[in-house]
Structure 1
């Protein structure tokens, strides 16, 4: 598998740290607001959607979006292109990764040709016209979403109205086989400690093998990295990291800080291959996220108000972002992981030391993330507090 780090400069390489910092901030604010026991979000999908939106902005709106993306306008453009290139080059036998961008326009809306051209050339966006607010329009949007996520996100319900003038959509789909699969006959019913006083029965997978592993004695957690298969004879750079607190009564929010790009990179560099006895619950997490409250906490205000400035989208119509949502799906079993995410921006018009195997038993809440160990791109990250929920 090629990694874009082989061909880009030190300055461009630093941009990945920017997207990593963005992803960590997004996940931190999301976990604080997540109402359920389990959660998942795709930071890279949000990043690419906001990068597309930033191209149409100007003034204070553009400044806020640039700050959100942790980069200058030029840097943001370069970073989004490098991320897309890396993701598109990642599909190999054993690891499927599909990335798609879409620009859907209201049939009577006239965007600036330069904006449409940028979406096509820089983001490889599929461009189409839609009658928003109609049954036919929703069918067209949902058919595109279903196709690009291999049916894992079937629809984006309650989306679009006759006031919508355009929608920017990013879709990500991955299906990765474990480099070392769990055997079906090693799966059994096991207690999972949702809290110190509550347990649930769940399907627990098990295998003993060598995986990269690191312990933080001071912070009291362990971190293991389970790789996905790559091209025959080549190393896979995609892996699932699992952060497991020592204390089953720990609040996972207290450990999100260790997913900050610099901290996570340091932990990964310290990790060494160890013989691990891994217990891992099968789990499936599906979420629907309203991103606007989270992005407001991260400093974006103008884009969602009547002060929004998107003159590079249209000169004749004043637009603002009225809705931004993401749907996510992650399914983990003995063979590997299947995951998908769709992020949608609705833009509307407005008036103006041990010899034996080390035990790594995920029988209590944990954090997981799917990450490229070479580039640091995070596809998905989430928390599992109850695998049966």
Structure 2
């Protein structure tokens, strides 16, 4: 098992979350970075040239990266189930009826990502229901749909689903939960349901923030909370969540008695990931010169959508969370351009001719003044 893939996943996730947070400063937000990592890794297997290099760089994977390493991440997630702890992930590849993806691409996703491969009609309600049915099944019904309406343009969808339900190792007593003030800003306070307990947890105090770790019953998983000091800007502390920084903080945290007040919360989000990925220099995959020929040697493809729906619910018993990430691909005309295309609107009288390319022989020529005559 290579640790490189875990660091890559964490570093990619940090960059993605940092960008997401910087652009959602005024609202709650939630993201499943590893779900995006799975989807973009599947897309990377079908890319080549600059497109592959851009995705590879954004994913923070090493030069000797092997797609099968993703199996280590899948094993870690799916192997975590235990007493009062459920964690599953599933990958799906949905192909439009009549679209023949390359056998090697489909085989890699089956082998390396354990992907469920199915053909559907994206242009029909039956196809939409089929995909949404898979989504609902893999998230225990917590996310009911990822497709809203039939779409004739979609030719392939790469989807990752994650579902988690876990109980705290030290549950909060519901009887101790009470309303209390939660300071949103200097000018705004709100009432929140504050859970309360006095217990030992791993804890570390730094110069201008504190961090505590709340374990689940399966002790290899926990929720960490970084709490900035009063008057600090939360966004200034995101760098502490990078792989190496967070590992050091966790290693240095010691078990301490804490008087904990912890707000119950539920956060939901639907996130368009393309702007974030573009800011991470993944660009060609979304353009008309995307190099995704390892997916199909018949249809020229580009990515039209990268969307995630996500929720996290925290209460006295523990945490329930789910995420769905989808990468949609559509065919495009292989007349590549980067700049605004030149307009050629045939809306006035014109000449025409029919010419043999190799010899120059003109078979027909003409003039059209009124095409309705």
TM range (shorter): 0.7 to 0.9
Tell me whether 1:278 sits opposite 2:268 in the alignment: no
Equivalent residue for 1:176?
166
What is aligned with 1:223? 211
- Per the alignment, residue 339 of structure 2 pairs with none
Residue 344, structure 1, aligned to residue 326, structure 2: yes
Tell which deviates more after alignment, 93-102 or 128-137: 128-137
The 8 Å contact of residues 66 and 76 in structure 1, kept in 2 or not, is answered as no
State which structure, 1 or 2, has the greater radius of gyration over its C-alpha atoms.
Answer: 2
Aligned counterpart for 1:289 among listed residues 238, 246, 271: 271
Match of 1:243? 226
Q: CA deviation at 1:133?
A: 2.7
Aligned equivalents of 1:260, 1:118: Cα separation in 2? 30
Question: Which residue in 1 is equivalent to 2:84?
Answer: 94
Superimposed CA distance per residue, residues 35-68 of structure 1 (whole angstroms, 9 cap, x where no aligned partner): 6421110011000111100000011111111111
Q: 1:130 maps to which residue? A: 120
Partners of 1:79 and 1:204 lie apart in 2 by 41
> Paired residue for 1:311, among 293, 297, 302?
293
Q: Cα 1:160–1:69, aligned 2, differ >3 Å: closer, same or farther?
A: farther
Give how far 1:286 is off.
Answer: 0.4
CA deviations over 1:158-214 (Å, ceiling 9, x no partner) = 466211110000000000100000001000011111111211111110011000000
Residue 42 of structure 1: which of 17, 20, 32 is its match? 32
Contact 1:69 1:76 in 2 (8 A): no
Hey, what does 1:355 align to over in structure 2?
none
| Distance in 2 (alpha carbons) for counterparts of 1:79 and 1:211 | 33
Q: Distance in 2 between matches of 1:279 and 1:26?
A: 29
**Counterpart-to-counterpart distance in 2, 1:159 and 1:73:** 40
**Secondary structure of the structure 1 residue equivalent to 2:65:** helix
Name segments (4+ residues, structure 1) moved above 4 Å: none
Q: d(CA) in 2 for partners of 1:197 and 1:79?
A: 49
Give, in angstroms, the shift of residue 332 of structure 1: 0.1
Contact 2:4/2:61 (8 A) holds in 1: no
> Once superposed, what is the RMSD of the aligned Cα atoms?
1.3
Note the C-alpha offset of 1:252. 1.6
For residues 205-245 of structure 1, give each alpha carbon's deviation from its aligned partner in whole angstroms, at most 9, with x where no partner exists: 0011000000111xx10000000002xxxxx1100000001
Contact 2:125 2:149 in 1 (8 A): no
Q: Partners of 1:147 and 1:226 in 2: how far apart?
A: 29
More relative contact order, 1 or 2 (CA 8 Å, 6+ apart): 1
Q: Deviations over 1:300-326 (max 9, x none)?
A: 000000110111110000000000100
Partner of 1:109: 99
Deviates more, 1:184-193 or 1:250-259: 250-259
Alignment partner, residue 17 of structure 1: 7
- Name which of structure 1's ranges 135-144 and 68-77 shifts more when overlaid on structure 2: 68-77
Q: What corresponds to 2:133 in structure 1?
A: 143
Q: Does 1:260 align with 2:242?
A: yes
Q: Where does residue 17 of structure 2 map in the other structure?
A: 27
What does residue 307 of structure 2 align with?
A: 325
Are residues 251 and 79 of structure 1, via their aligned partners in 2, closer, same or farther at CA, if it must alter by over 3 Å?
farther
Structure 1 Cα separation of the partners of residues 6 and 130 of structure 2: 34
- Partners of 1:255 and 1:70 lie apart in 2 by 21
| CA offset digits 1:291-350 (Å, max 9, x no partner) | 000000001000000110111110000000000100001000000000000000000000
**1:299 aligned onto 2:281:** yes
Q: Is it true that 1:156 corresponds to 2:146 in the alignment?
A: yes
Q: Count matched residues.
A: 334
Label 1:79 to 1:126 Cα distance change in 2 as closer, same or farther (>3 A).
Answer: same
Gaps of 5+ in 1: 1-7, 231-235, 353-389
SS in 2 for 1:256: helix
Residue by residue over 1:354-381, the C-alpha shift from the partner in whole angstroms, topping out at 9 and shown as x without a partner, is: xxxxxxxxxxxxxxxxxxxxxxxxxxxx
Q: What SS class does the counterpart of residue 38 from structure 1 fall into? A: coil
